[in-house]
Amino acid sequence: MHSLSRRILPWLDQRCGAGALEEFLRRKTVPIHRHSLWYYFGGMTLFLFVVQVLTGILLLLYYQPTPEDAFESVQYIVTQVRFGWLIRSVHSWSANLLVFTAFVHMFSVYFLKAYRKPRELTWISGMLLFFVVLGFGFSGYLLPWNTLAFFATKVGTEMAGAVPFVGKWFLIFLRGGEEVTGATLTRFFGFHVAVLPGLATVLLAMHLLLVQHLGMSLPPSLERAIAEGRQPARSMPFFPNFLLRDIMGWYAALGVLGALAAVFPWELGTKADPFAAAPAGIRPEWYFLFMFQTLKLLPAKVFFLEGEFAGLLGFSLAAAVWVAVPFLDYRAGFGRVTRFFTGLGVFALGFILVMSALALR
């Protein structure tokens, strides 16, 4: 491995004048401990994001964002374009895996308390990225203009419309009017291929630069053990050791993705008919199910508030607490674990899992 780095780094330096890159790659290390596995999930999310960009650009060569042509253009991609079905299937499967790995990455950095000082901004840029990833999922779902997507978007935007205080404005902003129409499709297309990619690029650059600048964090208990001399600090070079392991993970992910996309090609369903009645059992995508189920279970009135309003108020407050956790869990400073916030994380994870399972019954 070291002979590999000895050959590649001078080559990079000669070709690209990459002295700074070489210096960076030489210096960067990754800590080794029993939770090191979780360090791979950020890179895995990044890999799936790149898959999304590449397959998304290919889909754009044929996709047409109008209610008259959207469904037919996707039908053309999956039936006429060579390997079009595979590209569409990979894009859809990879979107779901990306949300999943982003969830795992978020909860793992939460439980490892990687948000502690000085990584507050890394956490906040990560949270904003997470909202952008959910936005990609929500806006992309409507684009094929099929029955399921149309009615799920109706329900989803209705939920957005019940958000406290700004709901009505938000609903009109998302739909481009009172109803889900061609104007909604135009907006969702704009969000999906222009606004969100722009935001994601800026946030990703910020997130990754911060991670490089600050280095990887250590779990608090290990940090204390090292400081008290009870355990030695162990690490491995990022290049090539960690990167090669990363690449093995990406290769495995590509295998899983290819298998899923080929064996279970993503369904297209039937073209949306805005005048038809909503089919039974309309649900949002799996990553919004926990909210959907909670709102369903709430009574019509919670104290003096409408049930849906109270539920969304609760979710908005919970999201605000989650974003602000580096500032609230301020006692989780050097080597101190604050049990309350660990408990809060366990509760949040349990709540999401139980509510999603109830919705899938």
Chain residues binding ligand HEM by CB under 6 A are: 39, 41-43, 45-46, 49, 102, 105-106, 109, 114-115, 119, 122-123, 126-127, 129-130, 133, 207, 211, 216-217
Residue 24 or 83: the one with the smaller Cβ distance to ligand HEM is 24
As measured in angstroms, the least distance from the Cβ of 130 to ligand HEM is 4
For the CB of residue 289, give the shortest distance to ligand HEM in the complex, in Å. Answer: 19
Closest distance to ligand HEM from the beta carbon of 322 (Å): 8
- DSSP class per residue in 266-313: PP---B--TTSPPPTT----GGGHHHHHHHHHS-SEETTEEHHHHHHH
| Cα 111 from Cα 345, distance rounded (Å) | 7
Distance of closest approach, residue 51 Cβ to ligand HEM, in angstroms: 12
Report how far residue 40's alpha carbon sits from residue 58's, in angstroms, rounded to the nearest whole number: 28
Contacting residues for 184 by C-beta, under 8 A, at least 6 apart: 142, 153, 157, 174, 175, 176, 177
Task: Give the C-alpha separation, 34 to 231, whole Å.
Answer: 13
Please say which residue, 9 or 48, places its beta carbon nearer to ligand HEM. 48
Q: Which is nearer to ligand HEM, 84 or 326 (CB)?
A: 326
Q: Which residues pair with 31 in a beta bridge?
A: 235
**Cα gap 243→156, rounded to integer Å:** 39
Closer by beta carbon to ligand HEM, 135 or else 176: 135
Q: Is 355 helix (H, G, I), strand (E, B) or coil?
A: helix
Q: How far is the CB of 217 from ligand HEM (least distance, A)?
A: 4
Nearer Cβ to ligand HEM, position 115 or 150? 115
| Minimum CB–partner distance for residue 211 and ligand HEM (Å) | 4
CA-nearest of 200, 50, 48 to 129 is 200
Query: Which one, 27 or 168, has the nearer CB to ligand HEM?
Result: 27
